[in-house]
Amino acid sequence: MLTFLHLTSIFLPMSTVPPFSSTLSSELTSTLRDAIITGEIPQGAKLSETKLSQELDVSRGPLREAIRRLEGMNLIQHIPQQGARVVTLSMELVLQLYETREALESKAVALAAVNMTSQEIDQLHRLIDAQSKHMRENSGAFIPAESDYAFHETIIRGSKNKVIEQALLRELYNLIKMFRYQHEFARNSTTNSLIEHRQIVYAIEQRDPELAEVTMRRHIVHARERIQRRMSASSAA
């Protein structure tokens, strides 16, 4: 049974959720969003307004609005003759998500190299220091997903481009988080990612948009290639 829990420690800070007013619809949107991303509501599941309204003890009006918002985040799609269903993340779709992320986030970091404040760059250094500390204290294995998201969110917001910010944080990143949370092999980032994070921050500090774009593009391509290899190996097993 679904409950009003927000799993914000797993994902980007809740500031990345669109600034909805404090209403029941907003609460429902967050609850259902978390349930979809974590797989509590599985991929491809049909969303029954009747069943959900009973489980959550809410009327259909706010629930219908929450479903509409989730559709705007691309977590739900309406299928003719079937109604609202949770999106299914095929290998093809996941790779397309990373291709789109590569294009948009490379542009975002180029803009960030010009527009980020010194305070925002300091925040990137703090995040990298925390990532490095975590890896030293945990056998150097992984960057936790939430720290990785925070790093990329800081850069995206630092671009000062609201169109790119909305496309990435409101739409695309929800699907990427959904994929990474539901596939353990994609959940955390490797040691190489930390090195690449340092290279990205160096380019931003140098106020070099071309270098920043190249380093971010390479970083995301490497992530996509790792995922493609592991998904191919998993499907072949």
pLDDT tens profile 167-220: 999 999 999 999 998 887 665 667 789 999 999 999 999 999 999 999 999 999
On whether both 120 and 60 belong to a single domain, the answer is no
pLDDT given for residue 136 in this prediction: 86
On whether both 112 and 203 belong to a single domain, the answer is yes
On whether both 77 and 128 belong to a single domain, the answer is no
pLDDT band at 3 (very low <50, low <70, confident <90, very high): very low
Q: Is the pLDDT of residue 237 over 80?
A: no
pLDDT given for residue 185 in this prediction: 64
pLDDT given for residue 153 in this prediction: 98
On whether both 82 and 97 belong to a single domain, the answer is no
On whether both 75 and 105 belong to a single domain, the answer is no
76 and 85 Cβ atoms separated by less than 8 Å: yes
Containing H/E element for 86? strand 83-86
Q: Cα(169)–Cα(162) distance, rounded to whole angstroms?
A: 10
Which of 57, 86, 115 represents a domain boundary (last residue)? 86
| Contacts (Cβ under 8 Å, ≥6 apart) of 110 | 209, 210, 212, 213
On whether both 61 and 129 belong to a single domain, the answer is no
Which of 52, 86, 120 represents a domain boundary (last residue)? 86
- Of all residues in the chain, the percent with pLDDT exceeding 90 is 66
In a domain, 2, yes or no: no
In a domain, 38, yes or no: yes
pLDDT given for residue 225 in this prediction: 92
> Residues, the chain, total?
237
Q: Is the pLDDT of residue 81 over 90?
A: no
Q: Look at residues 109, 186, 111, 103 and name the one whose alpha carbon lies nearest to residue 153.
A: 109
In a domain, 69, yes or no: yes
pLDDT given for residue 19 in this prediction: 44
pLDDT band at 2 (very low <50, low <70, confident <90, very high): low
In a domain, 77, yes or no: yes
Kindly report whether the global pTM for this prediction surpasses the value 0.75.
yes
pLDDT given for residue 20 in this prediction: 42
Q: Is the pLDDT of residue 230 over 50?
A: yes
* Number of domains present in the structure of the chain: 2
On whether both 139 and 78 belong to a single domain, the answer is no
On whether both 103 and 185 belong to a single domain, the answer is yes
pLDDT band at 137 (very low <50, low <70, confident <90, very high): confident
Range of the domain at 144: 91-236
**Which sign does the torsion angle of CA 202, 204, 210, 213 carry?**
positive
pLDDT given for residue 144 in this prediction: 83
pLDDT given for residue 183 in this prediction: 83
Q: Give the tens place of pLDDT for each residue, 7-54.
A: 333 343 434 444 444 488 889 999 999 999 999 999 999 999 999 999
Mean pLDDT, rounded, of the chain: 87
On whether both 20 and 135 belong to a single domain, the answer is no
Which of 70, 86, 102 represents a domain boundary (last residue)? 86
On whether both 74 and 172 belong to a single domain, the answer is no
On whether both 102 and 219 belong to a single domain, the answer is yes
| Contacts (Cβ under 8 Å, ≥6 apart) of 23 | 62
In a domain, 130, yes or no: yes
CATH code, 228: 1.20.120.530
pLDDT given for residue 215 in this prediction: 98
Q: Which whole number is the average pLDDT over 132-149?
A: 84
On whether both 199 and 142 belong to a single domain, the answer is yes
